[in-house]
Structure 1
């Protein structure tokens, strides 16, 4: 037996009956010779980690646009926190950790610069609309062509929105994503002076926990208990409702109309300007993106691809190059 076959046999013997087994995968869009050492889901995880899109996450905004300080989350640190939470749940429920990790690491590959502000900007200007989960799937299918398994692709596109992932591992990511961003955004908002811990409703702190770690532990424990009882991914009604209340608190006091988003309109205007420029000057798109148009992809979609792939810094640099007179930059320097 190869190392991969030995691992597949361990999956058969140790994973729960409702877990997704790598040897039963629905496969890839194109056939690929099996790796002798890794299961298909382990291979997908590695292909994601080695992708250009994954590297760019380290320089993409999570919530706070251009934060001052080294400890605020970027899109990459968010992704790693989601993966850690998701793997803990998968391990406790004897589900497939490799599949869970691959989905977690790939779920935000299609996110724009400047977080959800950038997503809203492209959604407003692109005639086809823009959703970061759909863009993540386009990233791995069309732009980088990673040829991932059906289960990983399904989990990535279904991590948000109305459709649930087909696998329990994919459904874990929907919850793990919320657990991660609610709690780390509270942490960053307190660090940034936007809110105080005392501003959070006392009854939610008493029930969910009065520290970052305790709240995550409460929510993860709720997921594990629910899964053990129901062989499904979820939370008890009380904990789930309180988690959503905490999420709404963040929308009311942090995500909307606060100092944290004071730069949002500028970021949106900048990305709109970049979009309009490249729609009018498609010949200036990099060759990798121009090729997509020659293969039949609409210009507007390809321009969105290019902008969505930009990091915060690169989008600012491109905007300066296109719209700010060089003499002004010299004055600033």
Structure 2
């Protein structure tokens, strides 16, 4: 990437703070391109294809997975980053890595694992993503993790905003999973994220709201008539009906939802441009030092998205069909945790050895949580069946 084409406040590869373990500079790729490539080739990234968002994998192969979601987030992030002449490679790397720490069964699995880990410091998927890229991926000869650049690690840690209220607040006040995951890292946790990481967070919101509407409609959890009563959606359906009277139902839905998607992206770009113009940052450091984020939705759009999320929570995430599967998934995770903490030798040898090598109960529980969090939906179901059903062979 020619840095002369970047905006003054973009993150420049030549100014990177480098990696925890120094490596020779690539002749063909920028540091952030290498980060992106390492994330794509990571085992944890491949497993995202069998980790679902709302539905469990066997409920249908059409619904979004964590992998398809991550790809959609990366696409949106690159689009917005390009508009502002930001570093697309860094925005893409953060977008692709942001969900690496998710458990099987979406937020249901995380809630169950968080409850199981409550006596041992808790569990958080954002902290888990940092554990994965700094420790748990063990493929390289000279280091654990992926040895990502400081900027990519900072983006993963802070893509949802600062973790500390100020520079005087010690990071030890954070939940235990973050304290452990951030050990040895100095990521300026009280400051704003880079422009590229802020864009990745915006892209995450745009992607998951749109695809949850799409998946919910496809699953029949709510009707198009109900969706048309929501902010943004109603106007988009009306535009499609004016342009294409009598359009087939599937095409009508697609045309409306692509306009919803576009409306959110357009609003994010317009509001962010207004904020950037007001601050006129001359460097990436000024973005990080700002009193608030520069890349946001307008207050009106943020309110409309909040209303859509409330609808999805009530009509989709709390639908009786989804609740049934959530209950089963939560039991699977909780029972796997109980089995493995009671009998670590039932885990594969490398995991069992790592668990037994820990000097505390909390340390052993964290290894069990790492093992379960890395499972796909199908593998968690298989492990549970093997361990609880006497008729199933290992």
**Alpha carbons 1:133, 1:158 under 8 Å: kept:** no
Structure 1 residue 261 displacement after superposition: 2.9
- Match status 1:301 vs 2:363: no
Select between 51-60 and 148-157 the one with higher mean Cα deviation.
148-157
Select between 276-285 and 311-320 the one with higher mean Cα deviation.
276-285
Structure 1 residue 207 displacement after superposition: 6.7
Matches within 5 A, 1:45-64: 45-64=36-55
Query: Counterparts of 1:122 and 1:203 in 2: how far apart (Å)?
Result: 33
CA deviations on 1:130-184 (whole Å, 9 max, x unpaired) are 1111111111111011111121112222334763752011111211111111110
Query: Counterparts of 1:125 and 1:148 in 2: how far apart (Å)?
Result: 30
Matches within 5 A, 1:230-269: 230-231=275-276, 232-269=294-331
Correspondence for 1:81? 72
Query: Counterparts of 1:119 and 1:324 in 2: how far apart (Å)?
Result: 24
Structure 1 residue 288 displacement after superposition: 4.0
Query: Counterparts of 2:147 and 2:41 in 1: how far apart (Å)?
Result: 13
Structure 1 residue 287 displacement after superposition: 4.1
**Alpha carbons 2:159, 2:193 under 8 Å: kept:** no
**Alpha carbons 2:50, 2:57 under 8 Å: kept:** no
Structure 1 residue 200 displacement after superposition: 2.4
Query: Counterparts of 2:161 and 2:270 in 1: how far apart (Å)?
Result: 25
Correspondence for 1:229? 274
Query: Counterparts of 1:160 and 1:117 in 2: how far apart (Å)?
Result: 20
Query: Counterparts of 1:147 and 1:42 in 2: how far apart (Å)?
Result: 13
Query: Counterparts of 2:23 and 2:349 in 1: how far apart (Å)?
Result: 27
- Match status 1:142 vs 2:135: yes
Query: Counterparts of 2:45 and 2:192 in 1: how far apart (Å)?
Result: 22
SS of residue matched to 1:35: coil
SS of residue matched to 1:194: coil
Correspondence for 1:3? none
Query: Counterparts of 1:165 and 1:104 in 2: how far apart (Å)?
Result: 17
**Alpha carbons 2:7, 2:84 under 8 Å: kept:** yes
Q: How many residue pairs were aligned? A: 319
Correspondence for 1:4? none
**Alpha carbons 1:159, 1:171 under 8 Å: kept:** yes
Query: Counterparts of 1:310 and 1:206 in 2: how far apart (Å)?
Result: 36
- The two structures have a TM-score, normalised by structure 1, of 0.90
**Alpha carbons 2:48, 2:100 under 8 Å: kept:** yes
- Match status 1:65 vs 2:79: no
Correspondence for 1:98? 89
Correspondence for 1:121? 112
The root-mean-square deviation of aligned C-alpha atoms, in Å, is 2.0
**Alpha carbons 1:194, 1:260 under 8 Å: kept:** no
Matches within 5 A, 1:309-324: 309-324=374-389
> Structure 1: which 4+ aligned runs deviate by more than 6 Å?
none
Select between 151-160 and 216-225 the one with higher mean Cα deviation.
151-160
Select between 165-174 and 99-108 the one with higher mean Cα deviation.
165-174
Correspondence for 1:34? 25
Query: Residues 169 and 208 of structure 1: is their aligned pair in 2 closer, same or farther, counting only changes over 3 Å?
Result: farther
Query: Counterparts of 1:115 and 1:165 in 2: how far apart (Å)?
Result: 27
Query: Counterparts of 2:270 and 2:353 in 1: how far apart (Å)?
Result: 49
- Match status 1:170 vs 2:170: no
Query: Counterparts of 1:238 and 1:130 in 2: how far apart (Å)?
Result: 34
- Match status 1:212 vs 2:257: yes
Correspondence for 1:107? 98
**Alpha carbons 1:208, 1:214 under 8 Å: kept:** no
Query: Counterparts of 1:316 and 1:19 in 2: how far apart (Å)?
Result: 44
Structure 1 residue 192 displacement after superposition: 0.5
